[in-house]
Amino acid sequence: MNATAGPSDLSRGAVPRVLSAAMDFQLSPTFDFFGDVHLTASIKELTFSGSTRTQRFQSRRKTALLLSGAPVAAGEPRLAIKGYDPVAYFTPGKPMPGSAEIALDWDGARWQFADAAHRELFKSDPDAYAPQYGGYCMLGMTVGSRGDIDPEVWTIVDGKLYLTYDQQSLDEWRQHQAANIARADRMWAQQQH
């Protein structure tokens, strides 16, 4: 694997903790204003290796990966769903950015809300409003990956919120929705132990 280094942990050889991958392509990362590393490549095959299983993923389309390079201070919770209000997906039924001033720490993450009433609704029943898989990409979780999301691309199925990376991923996920939910649920459960 060839990679062009930049000003992040990636340039010091850090590997994401979630998975290791045998990759057969060249990477040229770019770094955005927020310190995130964007990797784009045409991928023929990836082999994800973990302590309990190996997954093979084949793709004919261009794949984009995002590794968060933004530092999080020790003991600080991660910002859930990029600061969007999880309650807003249910009421008023559309994505809305939350406010850092109206926040709540829950389940290892900091959740932001558009208003105090939404924070109180979430606080009273967080499992009813929190997105599935900790807010990570629903399609990525089908292969055990905690993928990046776009909070503007979402769906609610059986009263549960699901987020994904882009509209193409959502369309792909919907083709086998029940099977994808079952597979992602299993992968998420394995990661929680």
Buried b (16+ CB within 10 A) or exposed e, 160-182: ebbbbbbeebbeebeeeeeebbe
Sorted by where each begins, the domain ranges of the chain are 2-67, 78-191
Return the pLDDT at 65. 39
Residue 35 has pLDDT above 70, yes or no: no
Q: Distance (Å, rounded) from C-alpha 146 to C-alpha 102? A: 26
Angle at 143 between CA 126 and CA 172, to 5 degrees: 85
Amino acid at 83: G
Top-confidence residue, 68 or 178: 178
Predicted model pTM: 0.65
| Distance in angstroms (rounded) separating the CA atoms of residues 189 and 193 | 7
pLDDT in tens, 157-179: 999 999 999 999 999 999 999 99
